[in-house]
Structure 1
């Protein structure tokens, strides 16, 4: 009887339909070479030596005025000793607070000049309490009650100057008008609407901190515990307090980006670069800088009289001012929305005060993201 089974030896070999052997098809896995970290084309600005202050008797005091009125003026400034003086002063302050929390400073550590300045600031704070803000309806812009503060300060500034050893009447120039307005979240104002230096000094305070890292600014407990000790954390705390949107990612994207830095050295280096690139080297910023006796202008820089430009203090109520003529026209208007001097947006603090008044609550309330 014939068998129905095929002879395995006579049957044709059929291809298998299982998982193919990929061992010979895939490239051999090798350890990836470590990439060298990208180098920043901008070197970290160093701290120049601070020159000795000039003798007061050799100074001829004058009212500070704008002297950077054209690109040429700005170029002269960047090549001048005054530019190095500003770097030396600001970066010298930065170096002086390395790894130093506020609580580590006692009155016994302070020099007599610093103690005198602190006493004056205490008196200024008392003047602030005696000049409350005015009722301004729905206005979200700078409160005009600051004029009352200036009137009170004018009556007391003589004693303050004597404490500082300033006796010459020519050295005392009064400020008559003050407006505080946000400049939009771009350039140097990307960190905060009004302030930059606290972030530079604050990064230096945290330079070698054993456990507070740049990412720690996202931890509310860290901000609450150490906000009064470190300027950087205190500023982040303040920014959070006046925004309605939760999270730095949404209302302060630049601060959020900086928090991804590996350490505070990277942050401080970046802040130094930013101060040079976005403040001193930006004409729209420096055209409002005032030069006088202690911070002198360079020979050859323009004057407001030569350009027919009114003093910025006199023009604070509005109007059109042409600031530069060398191929660039800068029209400075209080109702403009151009980028040149920053976008004119309402003060976030003023808005918070307005909401507090309407809601009948104490303390600073959050406001809509602006």
Structure 2
């Protein structure tokens, strides 16, 4: 597991980090132009997808069996620990049917990823690190050959499995009053999750008729067609007050970024900086041999096969040496070309290029638990008109103008403090 800054340094340069990032991007590419399934829609899925959905339905049924405790509790409901205890007791029995009889030796290695996918049973909280654990769980299933190396399987992984997982986590949060884990407060993107926004923006990024500002409309569609709008609807359902006050990051993206493709690329850079490269997030991820090695002493070298000339629709492939004994169970991951600029903690906004705009710090705690510049200098410019929690913009013709806000538009990207100090008198660590 990751415990030190040196571990973060090794993690960022490991094959496991690369495979995880490629897998997240690959799943995003699989849902471009796709819509969420209707609740009553009949679909044909891979057998493994169906088995994972059955597993998640079983976990959801436990919530009815384990109601929240009635006694007043300040931070989360202790019944969540009972739910977690049942998961620990039955986890291997749930995972076993996913694999053929002779391949179940991998189940103990998968168990930690599923166990950490739904929140902390000690702190009774949930955050992006737990969401990441579930994605690593899916990646391991892909590596082991359970999830096929096919576009339709990737699409179903997002539209069926991840959506089901989100609804389960929302039910857990509502029932057991889970606290946000490591939340940045109103200055975070979301108190609990992230990938719904990234994959949702991927669904919309080639839709030239859809604009990011559409999520500011009230009311939102009762049945959202994409994960981004679904996630926004979730935020609106659990928070009160003006949207620009309780979710200024989401509001700034919606009001300042012109197209979904920019939102999508910016969110991936932010995810790398705020989740994958944050020690306080990934330190709880059960990384290590045999499925997710990251130590610089035993890294596996990916083999890139350049078969013929690649067209724009053909990506190079990575053949990973299997960590488990026996036959090669690991199908190759398609490598997605990596853009040259990625935001790192403490640098400026990842959403726009040279169009100017306000600067803001990607991380509220710049550099904390990270290796600054570990992936190389990657500063990009920001699109946000203001990082302050000001009133919503007023519409003037076809343009959106922002009222002037005291304090200026710039933040100190070296130490992570912002111009909010001008209004509040102090910055937050």
- Provide, for residues 180-229 of structure 1, a one-character-per-residue CA deviation record: whole Å limited to 9, x for no partner: 13223369x711111011110111112233543211111123x23343x3
Judging changes above 3 Å, is the alpha-carbon distance between structure 1 residues 146 and 251 closer, same or farther for their aligned structure 2 residues? Answer: same
Matched, 1:164 2:161: no
**How far apart are 1:156 and its partner, in Å?**
4.1
- Provide, for residues 87-116 of structure 1, a one-character-per-residue CA deviation record: whole Å limited to 9, x for no partner: 112111111111111127965442111111
- Provide, for residues 144-192 of structure 1, a one-character-per-residue CA deviation record: whole Å limited to 9, x for no partner: 11122133334543442122116236436464934213223369x7111
Q: Which residue of 1 aligns with 2:59?
A: 124
Q: Distance in 1 between matches of 2:253 and 2:17?
A: 27
Matched, 1:82 2:26: no
Structure 2 gap segments, 5+ residues each:
126-178, 299-363, 370-429
Q: Which residue of 2 aligns with 1:153?
A: 87
| Higher Cα Rg, which structure | 1
Structure 1 gap segments, 5+ residues each:
1-65, 302-337, 342-370
1:85-104 to structure 2, matched below 5 A, reads: 85-103=19-37
> How many aligned residue pairs are there?
234
**Counterpart secondary structure, 2:192:** coil
Q: Which residue of 2 aligns with 1:72?
A: 6
Judging changes above 3 Å, is the alpha-carbon distance between structure 1 residues 275 and 172 closer, same or farther for their aligned structure 2 residues? Answer: closer
Q: Distance in 2 between matches of 1:236 and 1:69?
A: 34
Q: Distance in 2 between matches of 1:109 and 1:299?
A: 42
More off after superposition, 269-278 vs 141-150: 141-150
Q: Distance in 2 between matches of 1:138 and 1:151?
A: 19
Judging changes above 3 Å, is the alpha-carbon distance between structure 1 residues 138 and 285 closer, same or farther for their aligned structure 2 residues? Answer: closer
- Return the match for 1:262 from 244, 258, 261: 258
Judging changes above 3 Å, is the alpha-carbon distance between structure 1 residues 108 and 173 closer, same or farther for their aligned structure 2 residues? Answer: closer
CA contact (8 A) 1:213 1:263 kept: yes
Higher relative contact order (CA 8 A, sep 6+): 1
Q: Which residue of 1 aligns with 2:183?
A: 184
- Return the match for 2:222 from 225, 239, 246: 225
1:290-309 to structure 2, matched below 5 A, reads: 290-292=286-288, 293-300=290-297
**How far apart are 1:282 and its partner, in Å?**
2.9
**How far apart are 1:291 and its partner, in Å?**
0.6
Q: Distance in 2 between matches of 1:206 and 1:157?
A: 36
Q: Distance in 1 between matches of 2:82 and 2:3?
A: 32
CA contact (8 A) 2:92 2:108 kept: no
CA contact (8 A) 1:107 1:115 kept: no
Q: Distance in 1 between matches of 2:43 and 2:109?
A: 30
Judging changes above 3 Å, is the alpha-carbon distance between structure 1 residues 273 and 160 closer, same or farther for their aligned structure 2 residues? Answer: same
**Counterpart secondary structure, 2:221:** helix
Q: Which residue of 2 aligns with 1:253?
A: 248
TM-score normalised by the chain length of structure 1: 0.57
CA contact (8 A) 1:120 1:160 kept: yes
- Return the match for 2:70 from 102, 113, 135: 135
**How far apart are 1:236 and its partner, in Å?**
0.9
Q: Distance in 2 between matches of 1:281 and 1:172?
A: 22
1:321-336 to structure 2, matched below 5 A, reads: none
**Counterpart secondary structure, 1:103:** coil
Structure 1 vs Structure 2 CA RMSD: 2.8
TM-score normalised by the chain length of structure 2: 0.49
CA contact (8 A) 1:133 1:143 kept: yes
Q: Distance in 1 between matches of 2:84 and 2:284?
A: 21
Q: Which residue of 2 aligns with 1:208?
A: 206
